[in-house]
Structure 1
Amino acid sequence: MEFTHFNEKGRAHMVEVGEKDVTKRMARAEGKILMSEKTLSMVKEGSMKKGDVLSVAQVAGIMAAKKTSNLIPLCHNTIPSGLDVDFEFLNNGIKIIVDVKTDGKTGVEMEALTAVSTGLLTIYDMCKAVEKNMEITDIRLLEKKGGKSGQYLRKPVGKVVSVNTSETKGVIKNPIEEGSFLEDMGLEGDAHAGNWHRQVSLLAMESFDKMANKGVDLTPGIFAENLTTEGLELFSLPVGTRLKIGETIQEVTQIGKKCHTGCEISRIVGECVMPKEGIFTKIIKPGKIRGGDSIEVI
């Protein structure tokens, strides 16, 4: 595969698309902006002084997609036939998802990515008076269809937010910098480790988000999960799925579990999302896992 934006002399040029067929094309992209609980609450309540943050960011994303060729030097002037900008509240920020469609000779990946970037920058601009250390992250293409190259679908990739352990069962686990995961055992030193099918427990931040309004400080380990993750809908993975997490390879053995009443978790949280959306794995290949390590479906 070669770069297409260079001519035979190695200089930048706009790719000739005149001979290409007009086809239906689409692209989907996403990105996140991370912020404090206070800032996020103000966005939800509509109490920012500059106005309705998401409405302005939505219009900004649409305008940016339509002006992409004016911003990115070698992009063709593509007219979107459909454009949707949507938002999702996270536990620690906001995700923006953009879908762009067109009937044309070139794709709309850049239009989708430009809309995401501009929408996130607009959120930052609307909120910067309250918080300046917001972080824009994870801007990426999720899918594209149409054209000679056909369909591209991003391979699901997540990351480890926290590794958590406890010496006894039925209590909240505490985050640690790094954990050693042993074959036929699980997390070394953890109360739930053992030669059984539920060696490691995992729960995603996306599940945390569903309980964000319960009035509880939802920190990693609060649901007694060994691995707090982000970026993958864990409970949708079939039993038997193998995951490369850090240095380890793990196999999904169970989705959800029976809730045990009377534990410290239910006392503090009131209800637990782990029984419905947590998953359990066994260690196939041992190794170390640290916060920030990637999770790949293999």
Structure 2
Amino acid sequence: MPDIPLPSVIAVSKGRAHTFTKALHGSITLLAALGVEGDAHCGVTVKHRSRVAKDPLQANLRQVHLLHSELHDELATQGFQVGPGHIGENITTRGIDLLQLPRSTRLHIGATAVVEVTGLRNPCSQLDAFQAGLMAAVLSRDEQGRLIRKAGVMGIVLCGGVVFPDDHIIVALPDQPHQPLEPV
């Protein structure tokens, strides 16, 4: 029987400034109820600039951005050059269909960190500034014509800890009934 690799972390990234791309690091520290230590989006209240403009006191449901590296593979077949951290994610994964997880799924990452998935990342026009046509490439439609957003998921930190590339991820689904992910 072939070995099936466990879901894992491929890369970790963070950025102090509100820039599109985040720098790769050897590790990141997740802080409970806050996010990634030293990242521009760390905090109890929302830090995403367009959301701050609407309501600076709303809860930060976007403390951690996770992106499946399988999207990088898909984009490469379309001629895009996108790698870990390039489109703003903090944790790049492999082996998890992040987009199909229900809301409130808990991702146990490494020794102690736990991230609860809150929703989908809604792709923005900054993608096209990074590489022309990238926004359209991370959007598609299902058989019923519903929009599929492929730019990863957002989460909150339930338990802090240090996350390294190659850390394993254990997926803990919430109780039924499962709620599908919506943009946050």
1:281 aligned partner, one-letter code: G
2:130 aligned partner, one-letter code: I
Give the Cα separation in 1 of the matches to 2:130 and 2:116.
Answer: 31
**Post-superposition shift, 1:214?**
3.6
Give the Cα separation in 2 of the matches to 1:285 and 1:167.
Answer: 21
TM-align CA RMSD: 2.0
1:166 and 2:15 correspond: yes
Q: Which residue of 2 aligns with 1:268?
A: 130
1:250 and 2:115 correspond: yes
> Counterparts of 1:23-62 in structure 2 under 5 Å?
none
Q: Which residue of 1 aligns with 2:161?
A: 287
Give the Cα separation in 1 of the matches to 2:119 and 2:67.
Answer: 12
Contact 2:75–2:81 (CA<8 Å) still a contact in 1? Answer: no
Give the Cα separation in 2 of the matches to 1:140 and 1:235.
Answer: 20
Contact 2:26–2:164 (CA<8 Å) still a contact in 1? Answer: yes
**Post-superposition shift, 1:170?**
4.0
**Post-superposition shift, 1:297?**
0.7
Give the Cα separation in 2 of the matches to 1:225 and 1:167.
Answer: 13
Give the Cα separation in 1 of the matches to 2:29 and 2:72.
Answer: 25
- The superposition leaves residues 148-200 of structure 1 with CA deviations (integer Å, 9 ceiling, x where unpaired) of xxxxxxxxx41000001112224211110011110111001111222111100
Give the Cα separation in 2 of the matches to 1:180 and 1:231.
Answer: 22
- The superposition leaves residues 72-131 of structure 1 with CA deviations (integer Å, 9 ceiling, x where unpaired) of xxxxxxxxxxxxxxxxxxxxxxxxxxxxxxxxxxxxxx4xx4xxxxxxxxxxxxxxxxxx
Contact 1:239–1:255 (CA<8 Å) still a contact in 2? Answer: no
Give the Cα separation in 2 of the matches to 1:172 and 1:212.
Answer: 18
Q: Which residue of 2 aligns with 1:72?
A: none
SS in 2 for 1:140: coil
Q: Which residue of 1 aligns with 2:77?
A: 213
Q: Which residue of 1 aligns with 2:62?
A: 198
SS in 2 for 1:235: helix
Give the Cα separation in 1 of the matches to 2:96 and 2:164.
Answer: 17
Give the Cα separation in 2 of the matches to 1:293 and 1:269.
Answer: 30
Of structures 1 and 2, the one scoring higher in RCO (CA 8 A, sep 6+) is 2
> Structure 2: 5+ residue runs without aligned partners?
45-59, 140-147, 173-184
**Post-superposition shift, 1:217?**
2.5
Give the Cα separation in 1 of the matches to 2:17 and 2:128.
Answer: 16
Aligned-pair identity (%): 31
> Structure 1: 5+ residue runs without aligned partners?
1-109, 114-138, 142-156
> Counterparts of 1:49-88 in structure 2 under 5 Å?
none
1:182 and 2:39 correspond: no
SS in 1 for 2:77: coil
1:191 aligned partner, one-letter code: A
Report the TM-score when normalising by structure 2. 0.72
Structure 1 stretches of 4+ with a deviation exceeding 4 A read none
SS in 1 for 2:76: coil
Q: How many residues align?
A: 144
Q: Report the structure, 1 or 2, having the larger helix content.
A: 1
Give the Cα separation in 2 of the matches to 1:166 and 1:140.
Answer: 33
- The superposition leaves residues 225-268 of structure 1 with CA deviations (integer Å, 9 ceiling, x where unpaired) of 000110111010000111101120111101232x332x3x4212
**Post-superposition shift, 1:216?**
3.2
